[in-house]
Amino acid sequence: MTYAKIDDADGGGAAKAKSLARAEKQPEISCLMPTHPTQYAHPEALVETDWLGKHLKDEDIRIVESNEDVLLYDTGHIPGAVHIDWRADLQDQVIRDYISPEKFAELCSRNGITPDTTCIFYGDKANWWACYAFWAFRLFGHEKVKILNGGRDKWKAEGRPMTREVPKYPQTNYPVPNKRFDKEIRAFFDEALAQSKSDKPLIDVRSPGEYRGEVTHMPEYPQEGVLRGGHIPGAKSMPWKTATNDDATFKPADELAKIYLDQCGVKPGTDTVVYCRIGERSSHTWFVLTYLLGLENVRNYDGSWTEWGNKVGAPIEKGA
C-alpha cells in the first residue's frame, strides 16, 4: 500500500490530505494493503491534542463536540468548539432516519461551516459518538473531516483548557448536498441479511453479553427497546473499544490489523458490514476499518440490533 507522507504542519502529524473524498466520491483507498501495516492508511484523518492546542483559533477549522451525554458540552468544552447533538441535530424527528440534505445544509450553515471547513470531531467515551457524527458528515459527502485522537478524555487528562463559553460564528450558506451516500457507507436490513447468508464479514461490536443474548443493551443501561437478544447469524464478536488504548487513543495499525484481519476475517476487496444496537458504536469500528486500516467497502448497519431484534422473521443466534 502507498501511505500518505506525514506533514507536521497539518493536523499534528496528520498528512496533507489526499482528499478524503471529492463531493461525489467516497475515499480513494487502495485495496493493496499489507497484512500487518506499520502505519495508518490515512493518518490525515487523525489530529493530536498537541497540534489542536496550537491551532484553536485557525479560521479554516471547526471543532465539533458530540457526546453520548448531550448535557456534557455545557459543563465545559474545548474553546471554540460547537456542539452537535446526535439526536436533535442528526436524527430526523419524525421517522427513524437521518436528516435530509436540506437539514444538513442548515446544520452546517448555523455552525459557520462551509464545504472547505475542516471539521475536527471529538467527544466522550473514547470518541464513540464523535465517530458517529464523523460518519454522519461523510454520509452527506462532507470531505474535510478528522477525529481528535483521544477525544475529550485525553484533552481533559492533559489539563488542557476548557470553557463554558458558547462560540458564535457568522452563518454561512452551505450548499445542499446532491445526495446522501446511503449505498456507499450505509447498510440496511436486507443487505445485512444477504451479508449473513453469504458468509461475508459481519462484525458485531456490542458487548459480549449483548452478543450472546444475555442482555439487550450494554450492562450498565436499562434493558429495554428490543424484544429478543442474540446476534445476526455468522457475525463475529469484536467489541468496539477493543480498538482503543487506555487513554482513549487508537491502537497502532499493526495491532488493529491483528484484531480485524486475523480475528474477524475482514480483508481488502470484500464487503464488510458492522453493527451494534443503533449504529453508533459500529461507526467507531467503521472509522477504524475505513480510515486507519484503509479497507474498502465497509458499511455501517445503523438499523442494527434495535431493528434486527424486533423484526418479524429475522433469524438470530445466541451464545458465543
Grouped pLDDT means (10 residues each) for the chain, 320 residues: 34 40 40 66 98 97 95 97 93 91 97 98 95 97 98 97 97 97 96 97 96 80 74 98 97 97 93 95 98 96 95 93
What is the structure's pLDDT at 9?
A: 34
CA distance 274 to 270: 13
CA distance 116 to 95: 31
What is the structure's pLDDT at 28?
A: 41
What is the structure's pLDDT at 220?
A: 67
Predicted structure pTM score? 0.87
What is the structure's pLDDT at 226?
A: 80
What is the structure's pLDDT at 116?
A: 98
Backbone angles phi, psi at 73, to 5 degrees: -55, -40
What is the structure's pLDDT at 11?
A: 45
What is the structure's pLDDT at 21?
A: 39
- 31 is an active site residue: no
What is the structure's pLDDT at 3?
A: 30
CA distance 243 to 293: 11
What is the structure's pLDDT at 36?
A: 76
Q: Which three cell numbers stand for residue 288?
A: 477504524
CA distance 305 to 309: 5
Backbone angles phi, psi at 273, to 5 degrees: -120, 135
Residue 93: is it exposed, middle or buried by C-beta count within 10 angstroms (0-12/13-18/19+)? exposed
Q: Which of the residues 119, 131, 264, 276 is marked catalytic?
A: 276
